[in-house]
Chain A
Amino acid sequence: MNTIEEIQNQIIEEFSMFDDWMNKYEYLIDLGKNLEPLKDGLKKDDFLIKGCQSRVWLVPKFENGRLFLSADSDAIITKGLASLIIRIFDDKTPEEIMNADVFFVEQIGLSQNLSPTRANGLASMIQSIKHYAEAFKTKN
């Protein structure tokens, strides 16, 4: 099992193989297209992340002290980002998530483009996951 830090480093390495932004975006779009869609029943307002221009649903599930995640969005690039976020945070403990330093965004060479994170929902997704982890920890 890889740590949050290790997975981020893998993602950074994958993105470093593309030297221009167009290919990086094509990769992100592919990730978005390949992310398994949520079942319609799960696209509920309860799971909707507010404050993004695209709609993003993030569904947490706790099992054996670990957080499992699934997500969907009506925008493909946002979905691609969601798939990265899931890869990083899925199947981790609340402590790991709460203490995680998220650094991959600046280092995959898209941060200049992704910086209005409010619009694409990246910052909100990370914040929500940290909230879920915290809530879970205080409950248990």
Chain B
Amino acid sequence: MFDLNKIRNDFPILKEKIYGKNLVYLDNAATTHKPQVVIDAIVEAYTKFNSNIHRGNHFLSEICTQKYEQARQIVQKYINAVSSKEIIFTKGATESINLVANSFASFLNKDDEVIVSAMEHHANLVPWHILSNNKGIKLKIIPMNSNFELDLTQFENLFTAKTKLVSVVHISNTLGTINPIEKIIKTAHSKAVPVLIDAAQSIQHKKIDVQKLNCDFLAFSGHKIYAETGIGVLYGKQSMLEKMSPYQGGGDMIKDVSYNSTEYADLPFKFEAGTSNYVGAYSLGKAIEYVENIGIENIELYEKELFEYAFDKLSKIEGIDIYAASKENRISSLSFNVKGVHHLDIGTMLDKFGIAIRTGTHCTQPLVNSFGQTGTVRASFAFYNTFEEIDFFIESLKKVIEMFK
């Protein structure tokens, strides 16, 4: 059941006042707020069962390990992975992608190619730039058309015998464009190239089924799906992960260590060196359960309505430029500029109305520069936002524009 009043009550921060005004939080693509069940879970963990996992043979360590592994199973079921061995806990999407870049690097030689898209977050560009500096690999970019969508015909032409990996964002954090990853994955697989999906902006908005998608890797962050910061996930097909060597060394990822050598632990522990963020993982499990109780499909439907409502109202404002894909391919993040007014000025003044939005390049500098802008204003929605909040945002935006005329 989708009960907006109840949902809003679940998120205590929404009652905060900003400069004495109601908070209107439209920066959900940067991070999401936490429902009380998640906040309670963090307190519960430290109050009831905190102990280092996989190590102690005492009672609390055992309980804590169980909670951690249960969280892994919740993630596994949520994305429908075949096995919980395929779920690696990381500190976020960024670390998940870096893990793949580092471990996959042993399969890459000079001049090998990785394909990314024109819409990537820096988290899915810089790790490959590092590999290009260190190993001489080449990056190829799937171009974007004037509709703010990826050009799939061009994509097919990018493949060569040297293409080793495709790594693309599912939903753009800047444009809200939903990329056709099903097709991208099929095309890449027809050329025997594995695919990494950056799901940092889709895991909280859309049903993701890794078996149906048949992606080889999938990365996301807990904090964008209502869990704590500092926890994230890398999904990898077992066959892939088994071939890859560890990303970091340390405790917890070993089977046997002598002074001169190490035998690595099995999956998923091989990739989880050091003390894991088990409280974060526990909170992620709770967050996913919370989302599942409301239903990710219900969330998506409502968020789509919010986006289109905001889009329609925004497009009626004079001098507005909206950077968005066609109606069926967009959700959650709405980027725009107002002619003659700097995005930072708009953001600074909207803040004074209690409205949290983001301005700038949103960690997608090449993308924003590619359509000739130094930045955009971005409103990004979550299912706890309301139509009234959007009305207030639009009215405030009009006032702000007036101030700069």
Chain A interface residues (CB < 8 Å from chain B): 21-22, 25-26, 29, 53-55, 74-78, 113, 119-120
The contact of A77 among B19, B344, B360, B374, by CB within 8 Å, is: B344
Residues of B within 8 A of A119 (CB): 344, 360
Chain A at the B interface: SS class: helix
Residues of A within 8 A of B344 (CB): 53-54, 75, 77-78, 119-120
7 shortest A-B CB distances, which residue pairs? Answer: A75-B342, A75-B344, A54-B344, A53-B360, A53-B344, A75-B345, A76-B345
In the assembly, what is the distance between CA of A78 and CA of B349, in Å? 12
Count B-side interface residues using an 8 Å CB cutoff: 16
User: How far apart are B339's CB and chain A's nearest CB, in angstroms?
Assistant: 13
User: How far apart are A54's CB and chain B's nearest CB, in angstroms?
Assistant: 5
Whether B349 lies near A25 (C-beta < 8 A) is yes
Asked whether B280 is an interface residue with its Cβ less than 8 Å from the other chain, the reply is no
In the assembly, what is the distance between CA of A76 and CA of B19, in Å? 22
In the assembly, what is the distance between CA of A110 and CA of B311, in Å? 32
The contact of B348 among A26, A55, A120, by CB within 8 Å, is: A120
- Asked whether A29 and B403 contact (CB < 8 A) given A53-B360, A113-B348, A120-B348, the answer is yes
Residues of B within 8 A of A113 (CB): 348, 351-352
Residues of A within 8 A of B375 (CB): 53
In the assembly, what is the distance between CA of A78 and CA of B404, in Å? 13
Whether A22 lies near B352 (C-beta < 8 A) is yes
In the assembly, what is the distance between CA of A55 and CA of B373, in Å? 12
Q: Which of A26, A55, A76 has the most CB of B within 10 A?
A: A76
Query: Which residues of chain B from 3 to 25 have a CB within 8 Å of any chain A CB?
Result: 19
Residues of B within 8 A of A29 (CB): 403-404
Residues of A within 8 A of B345 (CB): 54, 75-78
Whether B348 lies near A77 (C-beta < 8 A) is yes
Asked whether B359 is an interface residue with its Cβ less than 8 Å from the other chain, the reply is yes
Q: Mark B305-348, 1 if CB is under 8 A from A, else 0.
A: 00000000000000000000000000000000000011111001
In the assembly, what is the distance between CA of A26 and CA of B404, in Å? 9
Q: List 16 A-B contacts (CB under 8 A).
A: A25-B349, A26-B403, A29-B403, A29-B404, A53-B343, A53-B344, A53-B359, A54-B344, A54-B345, A55-B374, A74-B374, A75-B342, A76-B342, A76-B345, A113-B348, A119-B344
Whether B342 lies near A74 (C-beta < 8 A) is yes
